[in-house]
Amino acid sequence: MNHKIITYSTLLFSLLISNYSYAQEQFTIKGRLTDPRFEGREIYIHMDQQKIKAIVKKGKFVLTGKVKQPIYTSLSLNQDSLMQIALQTGDTNKIIIPASQMIFVEKGEISFKGRDFTDVVVKGTPSNDGYLDFKKLVDRTIAKRKLQSATAIKNLEDSLSLVFIEKNPSSFVALPMIMSLHTPYFVSNNMEKIEAIYNTLGPNIKQRYHNLLMNKVKEIKSFGIGSLAPNFSIKSVNGANISLSDYQGRYVLVEFWAHYCKPCIKEIPFMKEAYQAYKDKNFNILQISVDRPEHHDKWLRAVEAHTSDWDNAIDNQDLNKAAKTKYKVFGIPANFLIDPQGKIVAIDLKGDNLKNTLKSLLN
């Protein structure tokens, strides 16, 4: 869907999950990748500071080894030499993206099949089968509910993840699920439930990864309803600098959108209604576009066609400085209502929820 900023992001960690005994146990990964670009290329996994690798021949590869405990790690394509060429010449045609897929490495024979890493199916062992069933459930639910908004899809994934963890607290799949919770609205409104679920995790998982999990809970708490909204500096329609601090002393709705995002545009009439009702009662809107530089003119036309006389700006293209990064925006539309003291009081107010929330705060 073109309104996604980021679709399904790859988890950048490798986690050992210690419910098994410490005896060495054999695993085999039998892979098939039919995209001809993989032919003759190196496929590998890293585990316990060891690199296990194989060459793709006639679309097939086999990785074998022994594992003390189940490991959640990435199976990757070695593209080091091609990356060097790309850096020197600018030729990126032979680079394959994505070049990795998360996988549970555990006792048994694991099947890894697809054309490339975008459609690969991993199955054959309990953890991989369990995670595959979960992903199928997510896909079925998205289709049944006809969800299109990236934010709604992320909220659904988080919700189903918590249901799975509640039912399977000792499953090897539970830890990466809780580590991948990401939607601010969902997490903020389910913090007590998340902490309760943490307490039900299998004792071996919780004991071994106590610090990792508590850091995740701390991260979640650091950004959400009641926390101080991160400041930022971006450019307005006229090229002037706009900072969140400019709105100190007022309520402001920070709304992330893009010219191509139909769900975003559907929300604008509700924003207009709320704005007209409360703009003279210490309320403003700052609408931040996440459009790319080449779409700058399309953004300006969309501003003129759809928005009102509230403030409009475009996000910083440097991801380290971007407002969407600071606000952990994974999909649009996304919004944050910030009070006069700079604290977040509501997240993802859709439809009449915006006007009703303002009514309770400003009347």
Q: What is the pLDDT along the chain (363 residues), one digit of tens a residue?
A: 433 333 333 333 344 443 444 578 999 999 999 999 899 999 999 887 789 999 999 999 999 999 887 888 889 998 876 666 656 666 666 678 788 898 999 999 999 999 999 899 999 999 999 999 999 999 999 999 988 766 678 778 888 888 888 888 778 788 777 766 755 556 666 667 777 777 777 776 666 666 666 776 676 666 778 889 999 999 888 889 999 999 999 999 999 999 988 889 989 999 999 999 999 999 999 999 999 888 889 999 999 999 889 999 999 878 888 899 888 887 788 899 999 999 999 888 888 889 999 999 987
Residue with tokens 């070695």: 78
- Dist. CA 363–CA 345, nearest whole Å: 16
The 8-class DSSP code of residue 246 comes to G
Report the pLDDT value the prediction gives residue 21, as an integer from 0 to 100: 42
- Dist. CA 277–CA 272, nearest whole Å: 9
How big is the CA angle at 153 (ends 148 and 157), to the nearest 5 degrees?
160
Report the pLDDT value the prediction gives residue 225, as an integer from 0 to 100: 80
Report the pLDDT value the prediction gives residue 158, as an integer from 0 to 100: 82
- Indicate the helix (H) or strand (E) that contains 205: helix 203-208
- CATH class belonging to 228-362: alpha beta
Please, are residues 330 and 171 in contact by the beta-carbon 8 Å criterion?
no
- Dist. CA 127–CA 106, nearest whole Å: 8
| Strands annotated E in 117-250 | 121-123, 233-236, 241-243
- Dist. CA 246–CA 230, nearest whole Å: 13
Report the pLDDT value the prediction gives residue 54, as an integer from 0 to 100: 96
Report the pLDDT value the prediction gives residue 91, as an integer from 0 to 100: 61
Report the pLDDT value the prediction gives residue 69, as an integer from 0 to 100: 76
Report the pLDDT value the prediction gives residue 359, as an integer from 0 to 100: 92
**Angle between helices 210-222 and 191-200 in degrees, nearest 10:** 180
The whole model's pTM is what?
0.59
The domain spans of the chain are 26-121, 130-222, 228-362
Tokens representing residue 220 in the block? 């979640």
Q: What is the b/e burial string over 341-359, where b = at least 16 CB atoms within 10 angstroms of the residue's CB?
A: ebebbbbbbbeeebbebbe
DSSP structure string for 271-316: HHHHHHHHTTTTEEEEEEE---GGGHHHHHHHHHHH--SSEEEE--
Report the pLDDT value the prediction gives residue 185, as an integer from 0 to 100: 56
Smallest Cα–Cα separation from 312: which of 337, 288, 291?
288
Report the pLDDT value the prediction gives residue 353, as an integer from 0 to 100: 85
CATH no. for 26-121: 2.60.40.180
CA distances from 50 to 12, 53, 67, 233 (A): 17, 10, 11, 44
Residue with tokens 């500096």: 233
